[in-house]
Chains A and B, each alone.
Chain A
């Protein structure tokens, strides 16, 4: 397959499979819920309204009851009664329930645990969007076609029988004229049925077009390099009309509604931008462009090698809706020579090299990061076990990086899956804070992130089989350290 074709397919998948996070719709949370530690996974529906699967694994014994409830982000409405999560038969230690998601966009899932240590809750932000169109399975299409043909034949037969015999006294046989008339009426009824079926099909198509228009698309983003100041500055511009006209009520009238609430800072940054070198994955950057108008975001270009890059920009809206905007960037050697001496943001980081061939990668300060990967193969849809341990001869402890013990970025080789992870999970702390601020006091509790540790654990399940790269970042001795690991994920029973 040629590279442009592969790329085209990748972009098509981006559009078809995208969630608010690219290709990774599930929300994961790992952390405290009051006095309990829990691992929570929320699988959002593929269309809205739809049903989300909530799975909870308490880390403590003594939990007697787990419930979950979903509400719209603004929590202006009374929540429905919570659903009780029951033990999952095939997964010991896990409890599950299903929630009906009725509202597109930002929703809050409140999980409550009760037990010997009392009661504790946590809010998991859930961005629910319709991200794909479902085709007809061949078996179902065949079944419905067969049923339709039988019903149509039955309909014509009933019409014919009505004309031919229904008005005759019992026992009387229809004559030739009546039989001929019945055939004629049956023929004419073909036209009537044809007209009805045509109208019905047009209706269905209109509904399908309306649905397709409402499919979620991340805000359109354009990436470029500005050299007017003598150095190469990376500029990202949100070009989406829905964003440009977000304050223009007249423009929005009659158009597809989308979440255009203002952006809020996550870990103190408006945007978390990840640049990933295409192909070899030999370069990676985690930048934080700033903005004064929420439309154009600027950061100094780090010293990256020339090449083509995929850009993934994570933003959080005031509603709690999180999305990843995507663009591509071509860096030629002239641009990469004009890099600034210092980055715009002190938390910017970049890395060049090759992803580790083994499960242990050497970090810039001489220490090693080891992936504690289970022997079993990675399976799509199943918890991946992204656990890493820092090995070093120096007794220097890791520090918090952007308020977290560590960060990870997962990218599929065709760019159709991207996710930014923390030990807290896939959820955004800013989104959680936004949702909590709207809840009545005591409805949900948020706990700050855990302190730094030598061992990092990122709860996540690869959504699709394929080849991935996992970059892990942590801060130690004031330096931001990055390691890349390749990962091959096999087909599983995931959705």
Chain B
């Protein structure tokens, strides 16, 4: 049976300063912006160093997350004579659960650096986004972003009515950043319009997106939380598309088949706002949170992704999208430009394998939606 300690009268805000949440959100967005910028750097300039601007942004962001959360832990542990506040115990220290995850993520990012350096010496400089040391780095980044979500949701869950809207918005921002990170990690498989007539695109997006959207929506006090998060994700990517294209860039590695003059932007964001809106709608109306709801959420997600991206990709591959606003048809310096850039990729076997792939995607989305309901239910109860 739970017991109240003698100092339960301590107000949460007395024990947990507000600025670390903003610091962690800044770190979280710095990491994802740094990552997208870094990918663009590799696609446009090619050559980098440990001190290239995107790397510095990522390192500073990790330091901000680690140090601000470290300060929070020290404050909760040692300030006020060691009285328990809003934290959880960890090896004799106390701090918010999200802060511990941020510290863990920062350490994970630090650990990945010597491993990544060894990897470059052993197997060559990066030509792919995903490699085992980059996975370690990505787990660290994701941990910081989940940590930011947990810090935001915990504050929202115990907020006064006056604070609630602001904190719910901050939670939506943290979820949007996580969504952006997830979409970026999947860029090689599910980002370019050329992917969008392939079943693989729907299978890959079904593996993570429903979980994030559903887990975001359940604990939020906003009316349209998944829609808000998806909209913010699109806004983050669009702002980066528009900003990166303004920066001059010259490729510095041979062979150069496509002499770029500006940083190559990421592909146009996925139209997640459409399935996210329906996820919000279904969650408003749901009376139970079992497999039935998960199946509805999963099927809706995949079918709406299919309905929107099937035709949207046709526009993105058309001359109408080849401009500053949509940023389409911009390719790496090493790409030999040819007809492939206006074609759909991975089209194999006709309609039967495609439909089978869509069915598999619905199964994936159902499973991840169910997981999202479970995770979201848990997050709705997080108070520390």
Chain A contacts with B in 179-206, Cβ cutoff 8 A:
200, 203-204
Q: Are A173 and B3 interface neighbours, CB within 8 A?
A: yes
List, in ascending order, chain B residues with CB within 8 A of A103's CB: 254-255
**Nearest CB to that of A148 among chain B residues?**
B111
Q: Are B84 and A170 interface neighbours, CB within 8 A?
A: yes
Residue of B2, B4, B251 with highest tally of chain A CB at under 10 A: B2
B348 at the interface (CB under 8 A from A): no
* Alpha-carbon distance between A194 and B135 when the two chains are bound, in angstroms: 16
- Binary CB contact string for chain A from 269 to 286 against chain B (1 if under 8 A, 0 otherwise): 000000000000000000
Q: Assuming A71-B254, A102-B253, is B125 touching A170 (CB within 8 A)? A: no
Chain B contacts with A in 122-143, Cβ cutoff 8 A:
122-127, 131-132, 135
A154 to chain B, nearest CB (A): 5
Chain B contacts with A in 1-43, Cβ cutoff 8 A:
1-5, 7-10, 12, 15
Q: Are B135 and A80 interface neighbours, CB within 8 A?
A: no
**Nearest CB to that of A157 among chain B residues?**
B90
**Nearest CB to that of A201 among chain B residues?**
B132
Chain A contacts with B in 55-97, Cβ cutoff 8 A:
69-72, 76-81
Q: Assuming A100-B47, A154-B107, is B124 touching A168 (CB within 8 A)? A: no
* Alpha-carbon distance between A162 and B251 when the two chains are bound, in angstroms: 47
Q: Are B132 and A200 interface neighbours, CB within 8 A?
A: yes
List, in ascending order, chain A residues with CB within 8 A of B167's CB: none
- Binary CB contact string for chain A from 150 to 171 against chain B (1 if under 8 A, 0 otherwise): 1100110110011011111111
Q: Are B107 and A171 interface neighbours, CB within 8 A?
A: no
List, in ascending order, chain A residues with CB within 8 A of B108's CB: 151
List, in ascending order, chain A residues with CB within 8 A of B204's CB: none
A47 at the interface (CB under 8 A from B): yes
List, in ascending order, chain A residues with CB within 8 A of B9's CB: 171
List, in ascending order, chain B residues with CB within 8 A of A162's CB: 88, 97, 382
- Binary CB contact string for chain B from 105 to 117 against chain A (1 if under 8 A, 0 otherwise): 0011001001100
* Alpha-carbon distance between A71 and B251 when the two chains are bound, in angstroms: 13
List, in ascending order, chain B residues with CB within 8 A of A208's CB: 123
List, in ascending order, chain A residues with CB within 8 A of B10's CB: 170-171
A172 at the interface (CB under 8 A from B): yes
Q: Are B254 and A143 interface neighbours, CB within 8 A?
A: no
- Binary CB contact string for chain A from 87 to 118 against chain B (1 if under 8 A, 0 otherwise): 00000000000001011000100000000000
A238 at the interface (CB under 8 A from B): no
Q: Are A172 and B8 interface neighbours, CB within 8 A?
A: yes
Q: Is the interface of B mostly helix, strand, loop or mixed?
A: loop
Q: Assuming A134-B118, A148-B111, A178-B2, is B124 touching A171 (CB within 8 A)? A: no
**Nearest CB to that of A211 among chain B residues?**
B123
Q: Are A172 and B4 interface neighbours, CB within 8 A?
A: yes
- Binary CB contact string for chain B from 71 to 90 against chain A (1 if under 8 A, 0 otherwise): 00000000000001110111
B295 at the interface (CB under 8 A from A): no
List, in ascending order, chain B residues with CB within 8 A of A174's CB: 2
**Nearest CB to that of A147 among chain B residues?**
B111
Say which residue of A158, A166, A175 sits within 8 Å of B382 (CB atoms). A166
Q: Are B254 and A70 interface neighbours, CB within 8 A?
A: yes
* Alpha-carbon distance between A158 and B147 when the two chains are bound, in angstroms: 11
Q: Are A172 and B256 interface neighbours, CB within 8 A?
A: no
A6 to chain B, nearest CB (A): 28
Q: Are B122 and A167 interface neighbours, CB within 8 A?
A: no
**Nearest CB to that of B257 among chain A residues?**
A77
- Binary CB contact string for chain B from 292 to 308 against chain A (1 if under 8 A, 0 otherwise): 00000000000000000
* Alpha-carbon distance between A373 and B46 when the two chains are bound, in angstroms: 44
Chain A contacts with B in 389-433, Cβ cutoff 8 A:
none
A140 at the interface (CB under 8 A from B): yes
A392 to chain B, nearest CB (A): 48
B191 to chain A, nearest CB (A): 21
Say which residue of B7, B132, B384 sits within 8 Å of A166 (CB atoms). B384
List, in ascending order, chain A residues with CB within 8 A of B100's CB: 154, 157-158, 161
Q: Are A140 and B118 interface neighbours, CB within 8 A?
A: yes
- Binary CB contact string for chain B from 254 to 274 against chain A (1 if under 8 A, 0 otherwise): 111101000000000000000
B81 to chain A, nearest CB (A): 14
List, in ascending order, chain B residues with CB within 8 A of A81's CB: 250, 252
Q: Are B3 and A170 interface neighbours, CB within 8 A?
A: no
A170 to chain B, nearest CB (A): 4
Say which residue of A50, A76, A200 sits within 8 Å of B255 (CB atoms). A76
Q: Are B107 and A200 interface neighbours, CB within 8 A?
A: no
Say which residue of B2, B91, B250, B251 sits within 8 Å of A168 (CB atoms). B2
Q: Assuming A134-B122, A158-B104, A166-B383, is B254 touching A72 (CB within 8 A)? A: yes
Residue of A69, A72, A161 with highest tally of chain B CB at under 10 A: A161
List, in ascending order, chain A residues with CB within 8 A of B384's CB: 165-168, 170
B101 at the interface (CB under 8 A from A): yes
Say which residue of B15, B114, B252 sits within 8 Å of A140 (CB atoms). B114
B381 at the interface (CB under 8 A from A): yes
A262 at the interface (CB under 8 A from B): no
List, in ascending order, chain B residues with CB within 8 A of A107's CB: 254
B182 at the interface (CB under 8 A from A): no
A300 to chain B, nearest CB (A): 44
List, in ascending order, chain B residues with CB within 8 A of A130's CB: 124
Q: Assuming A48-B124, A79-B256, is B131 touching A171 (CB within 8 A)? A: no
A447 to chain B, nearest CB (A): 24
* Alpha-carbon distance between A171 and B383 when the two chains are bound, in angstroms: 11
* Alpha-carbon distance between A207 and B124 when the two chains are bound, in angstroms: 12
Q: Assuming A162-B88, A167-B381, A203-B132, is B3 touching A80 (CB within 8 A)? A: no
List, in ascending order, chain A residues with CB within 8 A of B257's CB: 76-78
List 20 A-B pairs, Cβ < 8 Å. A69-B254, A72-B255, A78-B251, A80-B253, A100-B46, A100-B125, A102-B46, A102-B253, A144-B111, A147-B111, A151-B108, A161-B90, A161-B100, A162-B382, A170-B12, A173-B4, A173-B5, A203-B135, A207-B132, A208-B123
- Besides A102-B334, A203-B132, 8 other A-B contacts (C-beta < 8 A): A47-B122, A71-B255, A77-B256, A80-B254, A100-B47, A150-B107, A169-B158, A200-B135
Interface residues of B (CB under 8 A from A): 1-5, 7-10, 12, 15, 46-47, 84-86, 88-91, 97, 100-101, 104, 107-108, 111, 114-115, 118, 120-127, 131-132, 135, 150, 154, 158, 250-257, 259, 334, 378, 381-384
Give 7 nearest A-B pairs by CB, closest first: A171-B8, A77-B255, A161-B88, A134-B122, A49-B125, A165-B88, A167-B381
